[in-house]
Amino acid sequence: LQLCGFARVRLAPGEERVVAVPLDPRPLRRWDERLADYVLDPVPRELLVGPASDRLPLSCPLPAEALAA
């Protein structure tokens, strides 16, 4: 579990809003000894959303190509 983006949004009960949270892929990289550089493995991940790290009621798949840009 790695925090890659954050936005504080206050909503009234029943209110809906679209929120854009830029994701920084750098924390998802790993060190590759052969390349002597950090690499981002092309694997799908899961995006978790919630008010705290122990309360993540929403999730959706995050395709590998979404982080490649």
In angstroms, rounded to a whole number, what is the distance separating the alpha carbons of residues 10 and 34? 46
In angstroms, rounded to a whole number, what is the distance separating the alpha carbons of residues 6 and 49? 10
> What pLDDT does residue 69 have?
54
Q: Which helix (H) or strand (E) holds 39?
A: strand 37-39
Structure tokens at 1: 């579990």
Tell me the average confidence (pLDDT) per consecutive run of 10 residues in the chain, 69 residues long.
84 94 85 94 88 90 78
Q: What is the largest CA-CA distance in the chain?
A: 52
3-state secondary structure of 37: strand
